[in-house]
Amino acid sequence: MSGCAMGIVALSMVTTPVAYAQDAIKVGLILPSYDQIRWQNGDQPCFEAEAEKLGMDVSTVASQMSESVQASQVENMLTQGIDVLVLRPVNAAASQGLVRMANRANVPVVAYDSLPLNADVAAFVARDAIAMAVEIAEAAVKAQPKGNYILALGDEGTNVAVEERTGYYQVLQPFLDSGAIKIVSEQYNKGWSSESSRAQVENGLTKANNDVVAVLAGNDGTAYGAIQALQAQGLAGKVWVNGVDAEPRAQELITQGDLTLSNFTDYCQSGQEAARIAKKLVTGEELGLTATFNNGLKDVPWFQVDKFNVTKDNLPELQESMSWWFKKP
């Protein structure tokens, strides 16, 4: 684990631009929403704390999962004269225009968690979503090598959801080819919606006459919807289900046995590294990144954030060492 077991970080709920110090590096952080608690409890406070330590002034906003809101926020920050932009796009494909807008203003862009496609991004900070999904799916097939599966995926507008599907299929394909596993329902769920995934899993259960052995979900939110559908049929705890993010609610479901595992990403490491990279881009320092991720235009320098599966076995240790994340809001 990284050095992020740092105690509780004060939560900063900045939703409007702040007044900048005259000589400080000005950095804009744009998050997709506050619907997922990771943005409030992990990424934002750790980014802001590191940026402050590095002598940067931060303006943070959340985009309410709206592309138009996010576009206005980028424009406003550029008008204020930011030196560098850290952007978690609402829609990876549509965000290339936002990157071009920043490029025209000579403002480098750090892609955060999701990578804008075909855009001149300066750096990328994220977990390896394909490798994460492979790790999850390997655990699933080890536990349930035969039977009907449901794939309750995330928002197709993010490369994260698409890459998760790729990783799941890398593991599942041989089982599908042999007929050992059958996918009875597969769907992207816009906005990572719990309600959408609940309806999907309900329909999948009906189609399979409740004969489902595993649900591979896109994140904790889609897992919550899946578990609601399973609970209604008396199947919660009997069907293998994963989440992604290891939110406090997810840890409770893991303890109860309704959620088999959730993959945790070190969001504090992610926020801290994004702040460090942002400063290096402004000061002209070497980024020191050896990995790259091709976004269709270029190989973008990539910092790969730590991630791992959380189960009943390692949950207590994680709760103790990562108290800044597992403390209930």
pLDDT, tens digit (0-9, with 9 covering 90-100), for 44-75: 999 999 999 999 999 999 999 999 999 999 99
Take residue 243 and report the two structure tokens written for it: 């989440």
What are the start-end ranges of the E strands in the chain? 25-31, 56-62, 84-87, 109-112, 123-126, 147-153, 181-188, 214-217, 240-244, 261-265, 291-294, 299-304, 307-310
At 124, is the secondary structure helix, strand, or coil? strand
Q: Which of 86, 88, 123 is nearest to 102 (CA)?
A: 86
Domains in the chain, CATH or no CATH each = 25-127+266-326 (3.40.50.2300), 129-265 (3.40.50.2300)
At 187, is the secondary structure helix, strand, or coil? strand
Q: What CA dihedral angle connects 91, 97, 99 and 102, to 10 degrees?
A: -140
> What are the pLDDT tens digits along the chain (329 aa)?
444 433 323 333 333 344 444 578 999 999 999 988 889 888 999 999 999 999 999 999 999 999 999 999 999 999 999 999 999 999 988 899 999 999 999 999 999 999 999 999 999 999 999 999 999 999 999 999 999 999 999 999 888 999 999 999 999 999 999 999 999 999 999 989 999 999 999 999 999 999 999 999 999 999 999 999 999 999 999 999 999 999 889 999 999 999 999 999 998 999 999 999 999 999 999 999 999 999 999 999 999 999 999 999 999 988 877 665 555 43
Spatial neighbors of 209 by CB under 8 A, at least 6 apart, are none
Take residue 73 and report the two structure tokens written for it: 């926020």
Amino acid 37: pLDDT: 83
Amino acid 326: pLDDT: 54
Q: What is the β-pairing status of strands 147-153 and 181-188?
A: parallel
Amino acid 328: pLDDT: 45
Amino acid 1: pLDDT: 40
Q: Which of 250, 247, 272 is nearest to 259 (CA)?
A: 250
Amino acid 214: pLDDT: 98
Q: How far is CA 135 from the centre of its chain?
A: 16
Report pTM: 0.84
* CB neighbour burial string for 123-139, b if at least 16 within 10 angstroms, e if fewer: bbbbbbbbebbbbbbeb
Amino acid 296: pLDDT: 94
Spatial neighbors of 232 by CB under 8 A, at least 6 apart, are 202
164 near 114, Cβ under 8 Å? no
The strand order across the sheet containing 181-188 reads 181-188, 147-153, 214-217, 240-244, 261-265, 307-310
CA 53 to CA 279: how far, in whole Å? 11
Q: Which amino acid is at 299?
A: D
CA 228 to CA 236: how far, in whole Å? 8
